[in-house]
Amino acid sequence: MRTVDVHTIIDDARFNKFHWLVLFWTGLIIIFDGYDLIIYGVVLPKLMAEWSLSPVEAGTLGSTALFGMMFGALFFGSLADRIGRKNTIMICVALFSGVTFLNGFARDPMEFGICRFIAGLGIGGVMPNTVSLMTEYAPKKLRSTLVAIMFSGYSIGGMASAFIGMNLIPTYGWPSVFFIAGVPLLLLPLIWMLLPESIGFLVQSGQREQAIKLLNRVDPSCKAQIGDNLYMPTGKVVGSVPLVSLFTHGRLISTLMFWVSFFCCLMMVYALASWLPKIMETAGYEVKKGLLFLLVLNFGAMFGAIGGGWMSDRFHLRRVITIMFVAAALSIGLLGFLRGSITIQYLLIAIAGACTIGTQILLYAYVAQYYSLSNRSTGIGWASGVGRLGAILGPILGGVLMAAQLDVEMNFVAVGVPAIIAALAISMVGRDVQPAEGTLATSAAS
């Protein structure tokens, strides 16, 4: 009988087909997640015209999905620590895909808002669990990069929603883009068969045989046997509650600063995602070009996430995120003042996407690496859930700014201010990536 250190094997494993498998399925799920979320900004101008919505009413309607995301992140983030990442992800995919499909049949703002809220539960719940799963299986030297690549699927989904909207809405109307969202329902059997469960959950729940099979796929050279002791530090103190543990062992300030950063970043992301086409239309651009700006925003986000992840594997995540928040404030603030050149506008919007949506992705990676296995989903879920309050306020903020009929310059300055606050908050997070915490849990052979 030998002792197998699960964390060491995963940390030191060479990137192989198994890692590609996890990256592919989690990334694909996030693509659909991003599509379902960004879709509101694509149909917003049409909904305002068809239902005679005021800017404030439209902003409030846009926040219904974000309310759902807040509760979904809080509930499903914690649920996964009890029923497993894979089971929770399956529930969330079925929820957000099925209800978003039904959203295309909404006949009025009330029905539309109810569907968006329910879909938001699944959209918000899937994020912390895909991040946790990818973080758990990623080799240490590629961890931030792989999480960033996976989460860049959010931007791909956002670009897909803008592109599909540009081509389908003029001919088939706004409901058509919601019907496309039903595609993931067809993939659920494949996700069930091919997406692996968390090794940590399998070890803790006594499913040793499955855990050993997965470990040998992570690193075929380890050749773990059913009789081996699986040593897997979880960081869990006996009798501790995952939520309470976010504030103990010197993590109080860091946890609160993560929450502030998530709040500010998500406020900017959803203010831009919901209102950028409309703001640019107000500035004199045609509707189709306004959607093109949304496409550029998400295109920049993809490069920001991957580039930021690559830098974060070489420098400290805190430093990279802080710099990107400062760049976000500058790029968003300058959008209103440098309107003479369309090329410069595209460049600034791409940088804004890279340093808001892209930075949000890195925040998920930072939180996932900061907390230990026993409270990782809870930590991500609560940071994301509290951050959703900012996401909820984002569309409302955009609606208030539009209703106030401020100059375009002041609209963008107001949207960029939260980036400065977020930069200050993240700079206060402790430097320990994953603090040690009390007794380590092991799983011995029976």
What would the pLDDT profile of 398-440 be if each residue is shown by its tens digit?
A: 777 777 776 767 877 888 889 999 999 998 887 544 444 433 3
3 beta partners = 229
233 CB-near residues (< 8 Å, 6+ apart): 7, 372, 373, 440, 441
C-beta pairs of 316-322 under 8 Å, 24+ apart in sequence? 316/431, 317/144, 317/362, 317/365, 317/366, 317/369, 317/433, 318/366, 318/426, 318/427, 318/429, 318/431, 320/362, 321/261, 321/359, 321/362, 321/363, 321/366, 321/426, 322/423, 322/426, 322/427
The CATH superfamily assigned to 3-443 is: MFS general substrate transporter like domains (1.20.1250.20)
Selection from 12, 136, 122 nearest residue 68 by Cα: 122
Q: Kindly tell me if the per-residue pLDDT of 241 is higher than 70.
A: no
For residue 79, name the pLDDT band (cuts at 50, 70, 90). confident
Residue 281: per-residue pLDDT: 66
Dist. CA 273–CA 91, nearest whole Å = 26
User: What is the DSSP code (8-state) at residue 221?
Assistant: G
Dist. CA 74–CA 94, nearest whole Å = 18
Mean pLDDT for 323-337 is: 87
Mean pLDDT for 166-194 is: 89
Q: What are the DSSP E strand ranges found in 195-263?
A: 229-231
Q: pLDDT averaged over the chain? A: 80
User: What is the DSSP code (8-state) at residue 205?
Assistant: T
Q: Kindly tell me if the per-residue pLDDT of 306 is higher than 50.
A: yes
Residue 321: per-residue pLDDT: 92
Dist. CA 266–CA 118, nearest whole Å = 19
Q: Helices (DSSP H) in 283-316: which residue ranges? A: 287-312
pLDDT in tens, 221-237: 877 677 767 766 555 54
231 beta partners = 5, 442
pTM of the full structure: 0.74
Dist. CA 289–CA 295, nearest whole Å = 10
For residue 278, name the pLDDT band (cuts at 50, 70, 90). low
Q: What's the Rg (C-alpha) of the chain? A: 21
Selection from 445, 438, 25 nearest residue 233 by Cα: 438
Angle at 62 between CA 60 and CA 68, to 5 degrees: 100
Residue 443: per-residue pLDDT: 34
pLDDT in tens, 18-30: 999 999 999 999 9
Dist. CA 22–CA 40, nearest whole Å = 29
> Which of the two residues, 111 and 446, has the higher pLDDT score?
111
Q: Kindly tell me if the per-residue pLDDT of 51 is higher than 80.
A: yes
Pairing mode of beta strands 229-231, 442-443: antiparallel
440's tokens: 């380590």
Dist. CA 337–CA 325, nearest whole Å = 19
Dist. CA 376–CA 25, nearest whole Å = 20
